[in-house]
Amino acid sequence: MPPYTIVYFPSQGRCEAMHMLLADQGQSWKEEVVTIDTWIQGLLKPTCLYGQLPKFEDRDLTLYQSNAILRHLGCSLGLYGKDQREAAQVDMVNFGVEDLRCKYGTMIYRNYENDKDDYVKALPGHLKPFETPLPQNQGGKAFVVGDQISFADYNLLDLLLIHRVLAPDCLDNFPLLSAYVAHFSARPKIKAFLSSPEHVNHPINGNGKQ
């Protein structure tokens, strides 16, 4: 039995970064898919702390909140910087990813048709802070903090990939971010995951917008 179970909707949503992390780290996990119909029946929601998914189990530890799950995996699997100072920088990037993910989610779920153009226009300003640290990291060929991979890298990769689907040329003026995505996506286990049915057949968002 794999030690990890992920309970989530049949979309990539808030779980694709943890999927990429686990796949890249050679971990296996069990997936429990909750359909919208099941969720709307309402029996599961009150059992979830905060009333939302994902739910994550690591043996007898149950967690909610995707970023707590990512950080837990970072701590357990050595993906949280080489020391406390790097850990603080990993947190900084991860909170930055969360801020943009929330803006993206608001646009996707609230009023996609109306808001998409303005969102894409403002995107360069929101992407720039993720490129800024990369010159210290072998021109985008290494990782976002220090010289080892962290949970924030998986979260950032997912964020950049979903934005490239939204606006295919959004990274064109960010050579280091483009190199980072290319290099990271070519890691053998990431490449295999990104071409697997579990990734390809899962819509990015629960409402089908992307």
Residues that bind ligand 6SG (CB under 6 A): 9, 11, 13-14, 36, 39-40, 45, 51-54, 65-67, 206
CB contact at 8 A, 58 and 70: no
Which C-beta is closer to ligand 6SG: that of 101 or that of 131?
101
Which C-beta is closer to ligand 6SG: that of 58 or that of 86?
58
For the bound state, the minimum distance from the C-beta of residue 54 to ligand 6SG, rounded and expressed in Å, comes to 6
Q: Is 66 helix (H, G, I), strand (E, B) or coil?
A: helix
What residue number has its CB nearest to ligand 6SG?
Answer: 206
For the bound state, the minimum distance from the C-beta of residue 90 to ligand 6SG, rounded and expressed in Å, comes to 17
Which C-beta is closer to ligand 6SG: that of 9 or that of 174?
9
Residue with tokens 């190199």: 179
**Contact partners, residue 209, CB within 8 Å, separation at least 6:** 108, 109, 112
For the bound state, the minimum distance from the C-beta of residue 114 to ligand 6SG, rounded and expressed in Å, comes to 18
Q: Does the N-terminal peptide bond of residue 54 adopt cis geometry, omega within 30 degrees of 0?
A: yes
Which C-beta is closer to ligand 6SG: that of 22 or that of 171?
22
Residue with tokens 């929601």: 45
| Cα–Cα distance for residue pair 79/74, rounded to 1 Å | 4
For the bound state, the minimum distance from the C-beta of residue 88 to ligand 6SG, rounded and expressed in Å, comes to 21
DSSP letter at 138? G
| Neighbouring-strand partners of residue 63 | 56
